Amino acid sequence: MADCIFCRIARHEVPSSVVYEDEHVIAFMDIMPAKKGHLLVVPKAHYGALFDVPAPLLAKTAAVLQRCARGVRRGLTAEGLNVLQSNGSAAGQVVDHVHFHIIPRRLGDGLRLDWDHETYAPNEMASFAAKIKEGCEAERSDA
């Protein structure tokens, strides 16, 4: 997509601090980091959401994600890290190009990723599980 910022970064039309790059995937520093060292891992081809990415490309992206997560841990001596990925504006996705955040963490760093927990009524969890299982089975038969 011509005007997508991540596509432009992947084409080197926009300056970025690239940490890793191969034919299919690029990893670069987030310009608005949650914590210093916040990194984005992005397939170079434009796909809007996780659902759209072909499985072989997603596997390549996941391998780079793991490599970069290890690099963040080792290079920054991070005590932990968060890997985040959002799909759709309802989930907080801002750039319409699938991407994964790697955020280095330290105990007591002040970054909050908590949410109010919901509870299930009796038997409600089983109902949700059944619906999700049906969705997964339908996806498998569509493949």
- 43 with 49: CB under 8 angstroms? no
Contact 120, 128 (CB under 8 A): yes
- Quick one: tokens of 76? 């920054």
Reduced to 3 states (helix: H, G, I; strand: E, B; else coil), residue 112 is coil
Let me know how long the chain is: 143
Q: Is 101 labeled as catalytic in the residue annotation?
A: no
- Catalytic pick among 38, 97, 99, 101: 99
Residues designated as active site: 99
